[in-house]
Structure 1
Amino acid sequence: MLTPLTQTAIFILHDIANGGTPENIPMYKLFINTVSELLRKLEIACLIRCTDTENRELLSSYKLIRPCHQISLLELLEAIGEHLDCNHPTQEALYASYRNAANKLGVINHMTRVYLSEIKLNDLF
């Protein structure tokens, strides 16, 4: 449901909140060329700020502008230009990975799929 790029952005914010030590190295390796772009987008969206402009490539050079509990998934998705992937039923891994948010994401996924199934091609012409 959450795209790999969205998951990477979540990990980046998590690691910045925890002092900038990368704890999610495998995910960063998937998007190594995109991390600096994500940091730029998160900064433009005023979710993070750079405190050491000479080391912009280091997560430890950034701070969250607001605490994690005040940053919504919607804000994150809008900041990075991503979307929810509701093309498949919710996988069990979602529940293991995203604890409290998993139930809400599962409902969103289910309801989106129901509504999309009710839109027929004739409705689009």
Structure 2
Amino acid sequence: MLTLNTKQAIKLLHDIYYKTDVTKSNSYSFSDSTIQVLLNRMKSAGLICQRTDGEVDLLSSYRLNRPLFDITLSDLMMALGEGLHPVYGNTETIYDEYGFAARRLGVLNEVACEMLAKIHLTDL
């Protein structure tokens, strides 16, 4: 349902918020260039900023511009320029993967799939 970049950005925001003190290069399964692109997009959108007192290659050199609980999935998706990937068929993966947000994402997925099924390519 959520793109890989969105999932990775959520992890980065959590780590920034909880002040996980790790270098960007050794704490993630995704590339340094991906991390930098995501951080730059979130920085450009005003979700995060870089501290002047931290080392550039540490994730702890960033801080959130507002509390994590005040940043919505919509805020993040707009910052990243990412969309949703509807899940067709086995929607149980949504409920297994997304915790407390699963119910809302499940409904969103169902509505998105239904609406997309009503748009014909000749209408575009």
Indicate whether 1:48 and 2:42 are aligned: no
Instruction: Determine if contact 2:54/2:60 at 8 Å carries over to the other structure.
Output: no
Which amino acid is the alignment partner of residue 119 of structure 2? I
Q: Aligned residues: percent identity?
A: 38
After the TM superposition, which of the residue ranges 88-97 and 45-54 deviates more from structure 2? 88-97
CA RMSD of aligned residues (A): 2.4
Equivalents in 2 of 1:89, 1:78: separation in Å?
27
Equivalents in 1 of 2:73, 2:115: separation in Å?
21
Indicate whether 1:115 and 2:115 are aligned: yes
Equivalents in 2 of 1:99, 1:105: separation in Å?
10
Equivalents in 2 of 1:82, 1:107: separation in Å?
19
The count of aligned residue pairs is 122
Equivalents in 2 of 1:120, 1:35: separation in Å?
37
More helix by share: 1
Equivalents in 1 of 2:89, 2:27: separation in Å?
23
Unaligned regions of 5+ residues in structure 2, if any?
none
1:100 is matched with which residue? 100
Task: Rate the CA distance shift 1:56–1:91 in 2: closer, same or farther, 3 A.
Answer: farther
Equivalents in 2 of 1:109, 1:118: separation in Å?
14
Indicate whether 1:59 and 2:59 are aligned: yes
**Deviation digits for residues 29-56 of structure 1 (CA, Å, limit 9, x no counterpart):** 2343210111111111111111137623
Equivalents in 2 of 1:90, 1:41: separation in Å?
32
Which amino acid is the alignment partner of residue 51 of structure 1? R
Instruction: Determine if contact 2:16/2:59 at 8 Å carries over to the other structure.
Output: yes
